[in-house]
Amino acid sequence: MDILYDLGSVVSFLGVIFLLIGFKKDFIRLNSIQKTGIILTFIGVAIPFLIDFVYGFLTSGI
């Protein structure tokens, strides 16, 4: 079950990266609510990804 959680975190992080790349040209034309939504989505996806990355690095025993 942990593997599914980790895989889902990586896939959603990549999805947000693709979303930001897709809106790179049009990001300026978005209104403030749309910009806030994209930024909050990125933060909401990045936090679990980074926490799992750090936790995995610390518990790997390297």
Say what the pTM is.
0.65
**How much is the average pLDDT of 6-28?**
81
The CA-CA-CA angle for residues 51, 52, 58, to 5°, reads 90
Q: How many CB atoms lie within 10 A of CB 19?
A: 14
Mean pLDDT of all residues belonging to the chain? 82
**Is 22 strand, coil or helix?**
helix
Digit-coded pLDDT (tens) for 22-36: 877 888 888 999 888
Domain boundaries, the chain: 2-59
